[in-house]
Structures are given as structure tokens and as C-alpha cells.
Structure 1
């Protein structure tokens, strides 16, 4: 990543909200003995469905075509303003790296901003800046993407720049070695100096004992230090080829216009390689619950997170991913969720708590809960309270009212998401890079609507089992166990303050 870090890969509901709507305000709801939907949620459902249907009817059709070199091009028309977003997604991420060169996918992302045979280093970025545009790039376990948002009249120029660096990147030791120092410094800042990130890294390594998702996206330091120009060139030559990429153009464009531009730019890039199928080691069925504890003097607020191995949208049985998405929302998706109401409102022991589902993955997904103590409560008390809610939802299931309220939030999130070109392109790009199709994305709202209480209950019982989990404890210096860890004296949490709604631990997937 070259610019501010963006989270990705969380639940489809959370992703839609995070990319296109303000963070939830942390206003305390009224306490209730039994979890219930917000007042009026059920009554609002028909109106919500009507609004979603209206938004769907007004949205221009999404179209796709494939160039002769194998590049799939997806066009997402949005004629409200004369701007366009270009995103190129390569179907390769850190989980596709050869053994021993962890971090090479992220390293190459940095190197793609160097010069080419046609354009000097910095020329592409300068052209974007000169017209007031935006650009960024990010690497995940499963894909690497680059984007620009510019006035629509500059789109063809941007497509030319992007096509050029797909084919003509120039890498020398003079370029590569200083940039290796940059990614090592990035790791120091984001991982080595952040106990929470170190814990998440350790939790992922424990959760994924065989799958490469257990290796951090940014890489292990001892391997990053050895990354070479030859490693970068080999990775570039194998994976950065048109037949291993998807181009998304969103904005004030037409299919014919994009097709003409694509033929003139990307259409001239030859198919350089065949990366082959994405065959990875798979995770065996978990047999035992695991724990990871990190104690560090830099920890200012203790926390506990539990992560379960669950299916993703791509590798689960029909309906499981949708059920897990809604389960995460009901359990810990906001101020009306069970965890918030139980730990923050009723018991007053947590400064922050929640749950989310990370299901946009080629292989297995993750389901997480987290909590931080408040006032005189200990981390042990918070953990027991979180576990009690998890056990209760797995044992007793959810209610029709809770499920309907969660579906209503999905409907609204999708409407908000369509107001943002970049978030729409991200939604399709991530899906197409992880084994899904345009039709799958289009059908997602209908699949969510079809989820039943029985399916949510079945997912909770099947997957929220201790043997499928890793629990991570983040403790301050001096606390030998979670029973001794409290909010630090003098902190807002010690005084009983409630933290922001988005205070979840950073996922182990650094998604740079």
C-alpha cells in the first residue's frame, strides 16, 4: 500500500456500510431482558424492500466483455457526475506466493509505481495529481488492485498508463533495493510497533496451521529482508498478464466507449503467461481450541478476540455465508446487537464489543468477536460475558424479529453503497477475484432475503464451536492473566466511557 490503509474482507454487511456510509453513532439503546429488533424495524421492512427495488430499477445495467488477450472488462455506468473510476484487479495475492518469499505480492504492488519503458518514474502519479484525481493500490491474500478516480475525459489516458505498466515495468537493483527498505519500515510501523497487530498476526498463524492465510500479507520480516529484483520480476512475469486480471470501469461512461478505449490500450498487451489454477494447501478440520497471549508495555487497553474458522462466500455450502453474515450482524453488528446490549448497556462492563464475518475470500473465512473492559471490570469478565452470548445464540438461536432487522440493515447498506463508484467497483472486483461471478454479486440481496432463522441457527451451532477457534489476549505489562487486566487507571475506559463503534481489532489480514 502506498497511501492510508483501508480495511477489507470483513462481512459483506460491514463492508458495504464501511465503504459508503458514516460510522454508526454510539448512542446507547434502551435495555431489554430479551434481544429484540429496534422499534419499527419489522414495520419498516416493506418500505425498505420498496426502496431497494426502486434503487435497483434505476441503476443502469452492468455489462461485461472479454478482450482477445483474456482480460475481462466490467462496465458499471453511473451518469450522475462526469467522473470515472478505473480499477484493475489481478487474481493474485499473498496466499499465492511461493514458499520462502512472503511479502512479494505486496512488494510488487509498491514497485508497480516505478518507471516503465515508456513512462519515467512518477509520471503516472503526476498525471493523476495534475487533474485533481485520486489513486491508490492494495494487496490482500487473494488479489492485488490498483485504481484511479479522475474526470471522465482523462479515462483513456489513465487506461493507457495502467496498460503500460501491466507490460513494460522496468525493475533494476537501483529501484528495487531502496523500495525493500520502504516495505521493511512499513512493517516496523504497522506490525512491529503495534501490539494489537502483532497479536492478530499470531492469531492468524494459529488459526491457519496449513493454509497460507496464516502468513501475513506484508510478509515475515526474515523473508522480506531477502526479497530481490529476480523475485519481483518472476512474480510479475507469471501473474501480471491480461488473462489473470479484471478491469472495472465505473462512472459516466458507455459500454461502446469503454470497449473502444480498452481495445486501444489493454487490447495491445500480449498474454504473457498462464498462471494456472490457484491450488493452495487447505486447512484440516480443527480439533482443539487454541489461545495466544501477548503482553506488552505499550498496550494501553487490554482486549480479547476470538476467531473461528468458517466457510467463505466461495467455499461454503449454499446459504452458509449469507447466514454467517446475518449472524455476525445480530450478534455484534452495532448498538442494537446482542453483545452491545448485554455488555455495554445491561452489564456496563465493556467499553467496546462486537462481531464480524470476513467472508470475501477464495478459501476459508473467519468469524470474530472482540471485547475491551470498562470501569472496574476485568478482561476475564468481558470474555466470559462474550462467550455467554455466543453460547446462547448457538444454543437457542435467533428470533424472526432479529433476522428481519438485520436484513433491513442490509437493504439500506446496499442503497448507500450504490452512491459510491469506488465501493461498487470494489464489491465486484473482490468477488470476481475470489471465484465469484457478476451474477453471484447481483443475486446476493436475494440470497440474503432467502435466509431463514433455521439456517442462521444451523450456522451458529455448526461453526461457533470452541474447537474451531483461537482466542487472543492482549495484556498490558504487569497483568499476568486476563483476570488481572483492567482498563488503565486514568483512562476514559476506567472512568466508564464507551469507545467508538468501530473499535474492533485490526484483522490479521493486513490488506495493505
Structure 2
């Protein structure tokens, strides 16, 4: 899995988000992105997006399914991620385990990932091998072959992954509890990998039922980035994907609304495996797609001003001036369909005091809410974000991911493409309004991870 809540360090979250949905669509550099990528729809309802990048004869081919961990039925959590594993088990044409080997023999690489709102599969390969991977991916969209011989051992693999990534990771356990407290009964409040007891009960019938219901052309988007034009891709898409018939009714999501905490919550975990204490706080926030006006872009800018590296207010106050923290950061996660999160993370100096760190953070947040931001830090934050767009475009795969993630979480191609413009339009008033809405108008979830046994 590329993307999930099963992450070892919060700075990594900030990095992923920095090169995420909006940042990769900026203008400049040597790529031909003055115009938005081209979109078209096949007769069976499958959406297609083409992102030209002619610097090398290579393409990134991705198929995104509009179904993820938040779409699972009660008692079947983990099935979206489990099926992601099983999609490599073979068809009538391709023997179990051979899919990735074929891609590798042809000089490419492949992988897949599961999110709350989508599941996706990709290959990076030479342009002249694109028809091969399109044929293979189209084949497993309709002809996946599963038996207990493949499914049950893979279930054990997933259970081991759960043990390693969640049960053996104190930070992941804290994040799980904090997510549950923040999102409540909404599916975002549980881990993408699922509830252990429910994963252990998943079987072949469950996997095939989920596959047949959701893995259909009308519930999928094809994204191809690289040395390809729309005129070249369209006949290939029609040849390999256009002939696949729909086999399930249109998927209409039915999720409970997000009910934010009605009071501030604090979760404290003690663990012998932890050497240094850490402090984390989650704030309820909108998703990019549900934010109003410039609110989403303003939250990106706010996160950069408050905790974006060594120039952020929190770092300068807690690390440089006061010397009470070893690191501190903030981030905004808006790449979800229903709701997002704004977060702050701090690691005290060795032997430091969490209470002192929390009070210092609260003081800096209060100062920002009272005084707002100045022109210098606003312009610096916007420059960092937009520059990141240009630099990140060097990764063809990341560009394709950016558009796919945005489309799967409620944005349009134009909105993704124009994100740097939205960032540049953010004003000091926009940042202050977003800060006051998120940082002072909500109830938070605070997490403390402490070394040793609980008292």
C-alpha cells in the first residue's frame, strides 16, 4: 500500500501531502502542462485521462477504482485492501504471481495501493510496452480467478501485515485511536487494513463478491501519463477497455455523515518500546472538495506558515528560541472525499516536558489567531508550495497519482490543474479565516505517546 493511515512518522505524512493532490499541477519547467490533461469517456462509462510528458519514451499506466476501505459493508472491513492483494493472483491467461514478473521482464515496475476512497493499480513501462500492460490490466478487471488455494494463504499475509504495521507500531496504534475519536462512526475512523477479527474471517466468496460488484468499467478511471497523446491513447483504450461490458449497477455511496467530537478528547498511550515521548493534535477540517472558496488552499498555506519546516512559526518558537522541542510540524490532509484533518506534531527535547511543549504550541496558535499572518510569511509559504509543484512534476508517476487521487476525492481535472493559481490567490484574510474556523472553532483530539508502563 502506498497510502494509508499506517504510517510510521508524521513528518512523512507532511511530505506525502506536500507532493499531493494540488501541488503537481502547476505551470513552468519543461513539461507541456499549460493546458489541462485531456479527458474522455468510453462507451461503457470508463473515464480516461491523458497527461502528456514527452521527455522520455516511458509511460505510467494507472487504473483507479472508485471504491475503498470506507465503502466496505459492516463486518467485512479490510476487504478492499485484501482484494488489492488478490488482484495479483492470476486469470485464465496469466498464472498466479506472474503479473508482476511479466511487467518486470519487460523492463517495467508495478504496484497497487488502497485508500479510504479508492483502490488503484499501476505500471511504469516503456511506451512500446503500453499495449501489453493495458491488455493485462483489462484482463484482470474481468477475468480474475480465485480459489481457496490462493485466497487463504494471502489472508495470512495480510494478517501479518496488520501485525507489523499496526500492532507492532506504537505510533500507528495511537493514530488509530485518534482517528476513531476524531471521525467517530464514520469509516474514516477505522484503519484501512481493517479490523483484525473481520480480516481473519474474510474468504474467497467475500473477495469475489466485492470484485464483481465494484471492479467494473463504469466505476473505474484510466490515467496514462508520459510519452503519449490523446490521439494515440484513445484507440488503445477503446480496444482494451472499451469492449468490457458493465456487470453491476452504478455505485451510489451511502456513508454516515462525519460527526465531529462534541468535546476535546485526549488519548494517552504508554509503551515500553517507545524511547521518547511525542505529542500530536488533530483538528476537524474540510476536505479539498468540501472546502468553501479558497479555504482548502488557505489551509495548505496555514500549515506551511505554522509548521512547514525550519521557517515555520512553531519550529522557530519551540526549537530555535525556547529549545524545548527537537522537532515540530503541522500539516493539512484534504485528500479525502468526505472530510479532512489538520494536525500538529511535536517531539520534545530528550527528557523534555510534554506539558511545556503543549503550552508553547497553544501560545503560538493563539498569537496567530489574534494577529494573523504577515506579508513575508504568506509570500514565502505560497512560493514554497508552488515551487514544490514544479519540482514534483519531475516524477511522472507522482503526477499521475496526483490527478487520480484528486479525481477520486471529488475534484475535477481543472481544479487539480489550477491548484497553484488558487494557492497564489490566497490572502492574509483567507489564512486567518481558515485558522479561526479550524484552530479555534472545533473540538480537538490530542494524543500523547509515552515510554514505559502506564501508571
Distance 1:276 1:66, change over 3 A: same
Q: How does 1:241-280 map to 2 (within 5 A)?
A: 241-280=216-255
Change (3 A) 1:19 1:407: closer
- More displaced 10-residue stretch of structure 1: 307-316 or 61-70: 61-70
2:373 is matched with: 398
Residues 84 and 150 in structure 1, CA contact (< 8 A), matched pair in contact too: yes
Is residue 214 of structure 1 aligned with residue 217 of structure 2?
A: no
**Which residue of structure 1 aligns with residue 428 of structure 2?**
453
**Residues in 2 aligned to 1:3 and 1:339: alpha-carbon distance in whole angstroms:** 27
| Candidates 76, 95, 98, aligned match of 2:73 | 98
TM-score normalized with structure 1 length: 0.84
Is 1:425 the counterpart of 2:400? The answer is yes
Residue 274 of structure 1 deviates from its aligned partner by 2.3
**Structure 1: stretches of 5+ with no match in the other structure:** 22-50, 481-512
Q: How far did residue 55 of structure 1 move?
A: 5.5
Is 1:356 matched up with 2:331?
yes
Mapped contact 1:82–1:152 kept (Cα < 8 A): yes
Q: Is the CA contact (8 Å cut-off) linking 1:115 and 1:169 kept in structure 2?
A: yes
Tell me if 1:372 matches 2:363: no
Q: How far off is 1:115 after superposition?
A: 0.8
Note the 1:60-459 alignment, pairs <5 A.
62-459=37-434
Q: Which whole-Å deviations, capped at 9, do the CAs of 1:161-190 have from their partners, x for residues lacking one?
A: 001111110111111111110000000000
Following TM superposition, the consecutive aligned residue runs of length 4 or more in structure 1 with deviations greater than 6 angstroms are 2-9, 17-21
Give 3-state SS (helix, strand or coil) of 1:259's partner.
helix
Distance in 2, matches of 1:177 and 1:195, equals: 28
Q: CA deviation at 1:3?
A: 11
Q: 1:443 to 1:2 in 2, by over 3 A?
A: closer
Q: What secondary structure, in the 3-state scheme, does the structure 2 residue paired with 1:335 have?
A: helix
Tell me the CA shift for residue 13 of structure 1.
8.6
The aligned counterpart of 1:487 is: none
Contact 1:60 1:78 in 2 (8 A): no
The answer as to whether partners of 2:186 and 2:255 remain within 8 angstroms in 1 is yes
Q: CA deviation at 1:52?
A: 4.4
Aligned partners of 1:19, 1:457: CA distance in 2, in Å? 21
Alpha-carbon RMSD across the aligned residues, in angstroms, is: 2.5
Deviations 1:387-423, CA, capped at 9 Å, x for gaps:
2222222222211211111111122111112211111
Give the Cα–Cα distance (whole angstroms) in 2 for the partners of residues 232 and 314 of structure 1. Answer: 30
What is the TM-score normalised by the length of structure 2? Answer: 0.94
**The 10-residue stretch of structure 1 (191-200 or 268-277) with the greater mean CA deviation from structure 2:** 268-277
Shift of 1:312: 0.7
Pairwise CA distance, 1:56: 7.2
Query: Does residue 16 of structure 1 match 2:9?
Result: no
User: For residues 14 and 429 of structure 1, what CA distance do their matches in structure 2 show?
Assistant: 14
Q: Is the 8 A contact 2:112 2:120 kept in 1?
A: yes
Residues 388 and 308 of structure 1: is their aligned pair in 2 closer, same or farther, counting only changes over 3 Å? same
- Cα distance in structure 2, aligned partners of 1:182 and 1:53: 44
Cα distance, 1:270 vs. partner?
Answer: 1.2
Q: Structure 2 regions of 5+ residues with no counterpart?
A: none
Distance across 2 between alignment mates of 1:257 and 1:348? 58
